[in-house]
Every structure is written in C-alpha cells, then in structure tokens.
Homo-oligomer: A and B are copies of this chain.
C-alpha cells in the first residue's frame, strides 16, 4: 500500500517534469501546462497511456467520450485499450449528423458542445476523458450531454487537474482521476 503510494507520487513527479510550463498563455498571468512535450517523448507517452488505462481498466467501460480536441489524443488510445467505442463531443457545427446540444458558461460569455444523438445507447457505461480539468465547465456540459443521451458516466479522467480552480466540486459522487494535479498556479 505504502509502496504504491510512493510509486504514484514518483510517477506524478515524473509526468510533471515531462509537462512544459508556458507562462502567460493563453493570456497574461496564466501558467499554461503544455502536454505536447509529454506526448512527444515516446516513453512518457507510453507511461501516460498506461497510467490512464489503469485508472479505468476495472470499470467495464462501453464507450470513451473524448472532448474536442485534446481529449481525442488519449481518448482514442484509451477506447482501444479498454476495448470500447469512441464518441466525440465537439464544438457546434462540427458533427455532421443529428446532435444534442448543451450550452455552458465561460469566464466571458458562453459556449456550446454537441454530441450525436445516436452515439450512446441507454445504459452504456461511459468514461469521459479530456486533457484538462480547470473550472470543470466543459466537462460538466459534456457529462450532461452524455446523461441526456442515456449514458451512465462511471468515471472522468484527465491528464492535468488544476485543483485550485475547484472544478472537482462539479462532480460530487463521480469517480475523477488525473495523471497530475497542481495545487497552485
């Protein structure tokens, strides 16, 4: 048990070292956690995929839902490893067939996400995946879409959680896992 905990702390530190910190992106005062360096390195990419897979491999996942567009990177990989199908949640106008829509509030204004009406069968067990859990607005909207479509969100997984933004509070009662968590900026 303690050995596992130490291993987890070690791995989180490893992944943090593989993530590039870019100050003032996308705007002044924000420290952007850039995962492109983590996926660029075949070894950390492989280990990241392995860790995400281990979060979910006992959850009997039917479908992985990836949020546009960085959620597709590990979303496809996770679906494949878990023997599940992959569903895309996208910005409006990108999905060609009939969709369900969900609007959500941003810092300034609002945005919309869509999912195909036939992407999820009622009762299917869903893993929702994205690269980043910040305020949780996007993931919450995606979660609502999945539940509207009749899916059961059994887990959410992220590469990076910015814990100081409190997004996890939007997912009480859900299983939420992240590769790395930042407690402060």
Contact across chains for B45 and A86 when beta carbons are under 8 A apart: yes
Q: How far is the CA of A171 from the CA of B24 in the complex (A)?
A: 39
A83-125 CB mask vs B (1 if < 8 Å, else 0) is 1111110000101110000000000000000001001000000
A25-B96 contact in complex given A76-B77, A116-B36, C-beta closer than 8 Å: yes
Using a CB–CB cutoff of 8 Å, the interface residues on chain A facing chain B are: 20, 22, 25-26, 32, 34, 36, 39-42, 45-46, 49, 62-63, 66, 68-70, 72-77, 79-80, 83-88, 93, 95-97, 116, 119
Q: Known pairs A26-B96, A72-B72. 16 more at Cβ < 8 A?
A: A22-B96, A39-B85, A39-B88, A40-B63, A42-B84, A45-B79, A46-B83, A68-B69, A69-B69, A69-B72, A72-B73, A72-B76, A73-B75, A74-B76, A76-B77, A77-B80
